[in-house]
């Protein structure tokens, strides 16, 4: 664990760890909404995913800069991030490429993570800058996990929860194998002309991770029987992963992603992965999602 920083708008407070720039707490007066990392199930809470989401085939790929060798979800979660800006309601972290990161990911980059609380919601902003002389390919994503039950839903079971979408739609999700690779040629229909999906351990265990593609309105609400939960808004993120750690785990992760794990119909060229962003030297881009406790 690194240095913890707490920010608040008077309604919502958030605590972030400089190690990995990881969100550690999302709370209101009602209590704690964020999973607290019990190693009996899953020790992390909300890791930052960069420069990949999920897995590469065999943890390797080729790129214009040379071999890429990255474990699941990349390297940002493994390093201390420097605090470069801090105020009562926001904090910004920075991670720059080093000789060590270039051994796994042979590119120069700067990753700034900004957490800000306003109007009862927490926003998480990724800002990626190409600090090198060649194009910078990457994907990114969030991985916040939420307690089930959330405050106000004491006694509710996991299967009492549902995912609520902004409108009715039909959702097909890809097959995922034990190595974490996606098969978009074999899809599973999990929702047909509906705006609610009952949340069950059985569904997630069967599919390993439920990977939604192009969620309408780029929003979803995790909701218990009394109406309490968390609302996510993730404009600019084309994928949403839904995951938990096993049939007894008392949490669910709602993960906005720009890209996804390597798929069977893709090559092992890093720049050709689904959702890959490519920045020219000196260029930057930002992606923001928000979490609102309900």
- Cβ 70 vs Cβ 58: under 8 Å: no
Residue 206, H or E segment: helix 201-207
Single out the residue of 172, 181, 176 nearest to residue 205, CA to CA. Answer: 176
ω into 149 cis (within 30 of 0): yes
Single out the residue of 290, 293, 276 nearest to residue 128, CA to CA. Answer: 276
Q: Which domains does the chain have, with CATH numbers?
A: 4-293 (2.70.98.10)
pLDDT at 2: 85
Query: pTM for this one?
Result: 0.96
Q: 209: number of CA atoms within 13 Å, CB side?
A: 27
- Cβ 165 vs Cβ 196: under 8 Å: yes
pLDDT at 279: 98
Q: What Å distances lie between residue 30 and 133, 152, 253, 277, 293, CA to CA? A: 49, 7, 20, 39, 10
- Cβ 182 vs Cβ 261: under 8 Å: yes
- Cβ 169 vs Cβ 99: under 8 Å: no
Question: What does each of the 294 residues of the chain score in pLDDT, given as a tens digit?
Answer: 889 999 999 999 999 999 999 999 999 999 999 999 999 999 999 999 999 999 999 999 999 999 999 999 999 999 999 999 999 999 999 999 999 999 999 999 999 999 999 999 999 999 999 999 999 999 999 999 999 999 999 889 999 999 999 999 999 999 999 899 999 999 999 999 999 999 999 999 999 999 999 999 999 999 999 999 999 999 999 999 999 998 999 999 999 999 999 999 999 999 999 999 999 999 999 999 999 999
Beta-carbon count within 10 A of 268 CB: 15
Calpha distance 28→18 (Å, rounded): 22
């Amino acid at each position: 664990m690194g240095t913890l920083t707490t920010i608040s708008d008077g309604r919502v407070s958030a605590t972030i760890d400089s190690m990995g720039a990881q969100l550690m707490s999302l709370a209101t007066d009602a209590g704690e909404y964020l999973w607290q990392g019990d190693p009996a199930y899953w020790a992390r809470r909300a890791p930052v995913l960069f420069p990949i989401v999920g897995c590469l085939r065999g943890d390797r790929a080729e790129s214009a800069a040379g071999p890429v060798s990255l474990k699941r979800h990349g390297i940002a979660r493994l390093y201390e991030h420097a605090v470069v800006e801090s105020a009562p309601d926001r904090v910004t972290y920075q991670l720059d490429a080093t000789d060590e990161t270039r051994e796994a990911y042979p590119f120069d980059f700067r990753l700034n993570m900004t957490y800000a609380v306003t109007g009862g919601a927490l926003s998480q902003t990724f800002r990626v800058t190409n600090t090198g002389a060649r194009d910078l390919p990457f994907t990114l994503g969030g991985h916040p996990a939420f307690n089930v039950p959330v405050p106000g839903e004491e006694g509710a079971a996991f299967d009492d929860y549902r995912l609520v979408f902004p409108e009715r739609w039909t959702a097909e999700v890809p097959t995922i194998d034990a190595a974490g690779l996606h098969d978009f040629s074999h899809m599973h229909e999990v929702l047909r002309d509906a705006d609610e999906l009952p949340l069950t351990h059985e569904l997630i265990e069967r599919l390993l991770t439920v990977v939604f593609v192009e969620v309408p309105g780029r929003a979803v609400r995790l909701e218990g029987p009394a109406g309490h939960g968390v609302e996510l808004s993730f404009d600019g993120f084309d994928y949403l992963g839904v995951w938990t750690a096993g049939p007894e785990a008392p949490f669910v992760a709602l993960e906005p992603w720009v890209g996804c794990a390597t798929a069977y119909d893709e090559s092992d060229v890093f720049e050709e992965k689904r959702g890959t962003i490519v920045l020219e030297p000196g260029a930057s881009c930002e992606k923001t999602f928000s979490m609102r406790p309900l």
